[in-house]
Each structure stands twice: as structure tokens, then as C-alpha cells.
Amino acid sequence: MEMNRMKRKQTVKLLAFAALLIGAMMLSACSNNNSANDTNTDTQNNVTPPADSTNTGNDQSSDGNAANTNGSTGGNASNQPADNAEGGSSDNSSSPSNDGSQTARDLEAMLNLAKDGKVKGIPFAADKNLIDDVEKDWGKSDKTDFAGKGNYATYAKKHAVIGFNKGSQIFDVRSDAPELQKLTLEQIEAALGKAEKVTKNGSDTIYTYKASDSFELRFIISADTGKVDHISVYAPADAVNNMAG
């Protein structure tokens, strides 16, 4: 009997120990699960959400598009004609203001040449050359007519008429070059002011400007066109029908 009680006590102790061991193992397992869960949670928290990654990509794409747009705009701007960027016209055309400025400069240049008795495009000067100099260089005139105070030799291909007195001295150098026949009185007065003298010759009107004490610059304007027919650099002192010298 005593032996049986001792066996039962040992059995109970073994069962109790086993139960404690099982409980300890279960607690350990639960603890490990909780640690794993915490680790997973931390890992998930450290991972950037997919939505944020997508937005970042979109932002980069937008920046790239913006850069491309700016680059394209800059390229297009540089391809625009320079004259348009400056508010002017293209190189193949001139603005009215530029045309007006050039015309004024041309008219001022005419007045300066007239101070020396000269006309642009004609190498002979009033008061300084003789008709012999002209004939030596250009040959005989197409025709020579007497008019006013002297003779006038016409050189049509040169767009020139040379007036000379009986002594062969040149006193009038005229030009009807095509560019002169585009000039209007308005342009002349805008550049040179009002004429000092205005006279009539038939249907033409002569506007006279004093270039110097020795020479006058005359614009002969046709009533038919309202534009210059020809210009004249005139030496009044030489417009006499006598021998030169």
C-alpha cells in the first residue's frame, strides 16, 4: 500500500511538472509571436507606401515636362525673326521710319555736295569744270540746246544735263536719276525745311535752297506727278553769256 501511494505522488509530481513545462513553452511561443508581429509592424511602417512612390514619379515626370516645355519655348523664341523681336520688320523690308530717315540723310548729302557745285553720280562741278572736260570724258552730247542764259548738253544715259556759258564754263549741273524722281515736296521740306525761294517755270515749280554763297540746290517738281522731275546745282555768278575767265 505504501508503495502505491508513493507511485501516485511521483505520478502527480510528474504531471504537475509536465503541466508547468507545457505552460512555459506556450508562454514562450506567445512571446515569440508578439515579437514577430512587432517586427512586421515596424517593417511595414518603414516601407514607403506605394501611393507615395507613384506621386513622386508623377512629380518627376511633371518637372521633366516643365523643363522640356521651357526648352521648347526657348527654342521657338530663338527661332523667331530678330526684327520681330525688336518690334521692327524683317530684313527684306524697311519700316516707314527707316525709309524716312534714309531719305532725309540722302537729301542732306545732296545739299552738302551742292556746296561744292556737285551732284551725286556726276563727276563734273559747276564753276570748276568746262564743257570740254565733259566731252573728253563722256564724248559728245546727245544734243545741245540754247536755253535761258546758256547752252545745255544732254547726256541721256548718264541722266545728266550740263549747262555752260559762252566761255564753256559749267554753271548748271542737272540730274534726273530715277531715285530722285521718287522724292516729294513733303520729304524735301521734312529734311531741309522750307525753300528760300519758290518760282514757276511753266507747269513746274522750282524750290531753291541756298547751299553756299556760290551755289544753289534746286528741286524742280512736276505738276503732273507731284514729285521731283530733276534737281539742279546752279552757280548764279557763272550764268552769264560771256567768255570764261
- Number of folded domains that form the chain: 2
Give the burial class of 235: count Cβ atoms within 10 A of its Cβ; 0-12 exposed, 13-18 middle, 19 or more buried. buried
Domain annotation covers residue 72: yes
Q: Is residue 82 domain-resident? A: no
The predicted model gives 142-169 an average pLDDT of 95
Q: Over the stretch 217-232, which tens digit does the pLDDT of each residue have?
A: 999 999 999 999 999 9
10 and 45 housed in the same domain: yes
8 A C-beta contact, residue 161 and residue 122? no
Of 44, 76, 108, which one is at a domain's C-terminal end? 76
- Quick one: 50 and 115 in the same domain? no
| Global confidence as pTM | 0.60
With respect to residue 91, please indicate whether it lies within any of the assigned structural domains: no
* pLDDT greater than 70 at residue 176: yes
- How many CB atoms sit inside 10 A of residue 119's CB? 24
Residues 87-125: tens digit of each pLDDT: 444 444 445 456 679 999 999 999 999 999 999 999 999
Among 68-77, 126-135, 227-236, which stretch is predicted with the lowest mean pLDDT? 68-77
